[in-house]
Structure 1
Amino acid sequence: MAINPDYVGREYRAPEAYEVTRVKIREFAEAVGDPSPVHTDPAAAKAAGYADVVAPPTFPVILGMAGSAQAIADPGLGVDFSRVVHGDEGFHYSRPVVAGDVLDTVTRITDVKALGGNELLTLETVATDASGEHVVTAGMMLVVRGE
């Protein structure tokens, strides 16, 4: 395997907290084609029971970008990014992500394995709020295509 399996368990902390804003939520909702007003209209979000506009369900992929980028760039891990394709993602929420959240994230390598001539790298990003409470865990599996 080119990917170093000894890296399972290694963690990469984002260099700074991620400030969730209405603009970032709106831009993400537009990018994924989610027209729900709870993502863009504070009044609609509050009428639906949220404190402010709420992020679309897949928004936490953004939260994992800093840690995932550090992992992939780690020369000891051995990922050839030119061969990487997105394989899978999943999310486990304790509560929704809303505008005004300030979230700390840690990305952990949870699995490395070979399958069908490819390598699979699984990463998990845990986001906590300013009080240290769990908000969401985002899982991502990358496929590093074989030659």
Structure 2
Amino acid sequence: MTTTNNATEEELRFDDSGLNTWTDEERFEVTRERLAEYAAATNDPIPAHCSGDVASPVFAIVPVFEALLVPAVDVLPVELIPRVVHGEQDFHFHRPIRPGDKLVSRGKMIGYEGL
């Protein structure tokens, strides 16, 4: 893939050796304050979310964000990181996220498409 930068053509190289490699575990401790802050930031009107009693389902991106970013850095040219849009992710919900939970996540990049 190539990109034009200030009328100079520069070759950007992806490193496929980083594909299908799990990241180290990322740990995240859930707090009532963090859940309430997320609800406020996303204009969530549900009382249990606003009080921090339970996380909204979309909060699940917060603890896994680092685990999703690390594999991208290992594969993509650093110049493209600000332009990255992920195509998909899988979340497997076993129960609601609650204050006091200690969550562990990891990620891997399984492919890419330069557009």
Normalising to structure 2: TM-score of the pair?
0.72
**Which of 1 and 2 has greater Rg?**
2
The answer to whether the 8 A contact 1:55-1:96 is kept is yes
Higher helix share: 2
Could you tell me which runs of 5 or more consecutive residues in structure 2 were left unpaired when the two chains were aligned.
2-12
Identity of aligned residues (%): 28
Post-superposition CA distance 1:62-102 (Å, at most 9, x none) = 1112222322333xx12421322354455320111111101
State the structure with bigger RCO (CA 8 A, min sep 6), 1 or 2. Answer: 2
Q: Which runs of 4+ in 1 moved over 4 A?
A: 86-90
Letter matched to residue 3 of structure 1: F
- TM-score, normalised by the number of residues in structure 1: 0.58
Aligned partner of 1:3 among 14, 26, 34: 14
Equivalent residue, structure 2, for 1:65: 65
Contact 1:14-1:66 within 8 A present in 2 as well: no
Instruction: Please provide the CA RMSD for this pair.
Output: 2.3
Contact 1:4-1:78 at 8 Å conserved across structures: yes
Note the residue ranges of structure 1 that are not aligned, 5 or more in a row: 43-52, 120-145
- Cα contact 2:67–2:106 (8 A) shared by 1: yes
Q: Describe the shift of the 1:72–1:63 C-alpha distance in structure 2 as closer, same or farther (beyond 3 A).
A: same
Q: 2:102 is matched by which residue type in structure 1?
A: V
Q: What CA distance in whole angstroms lies between the structure 2 residues aligned with 1:26 and 1:58?
A: 13
| Counterpart-to-counterpart distance in 2, 1:90 and 1:63 | 14
SS of structure 2 residue aligned to 1:63: helix
Q: 1 or 2, which has the higher strand percentage?
A: 1
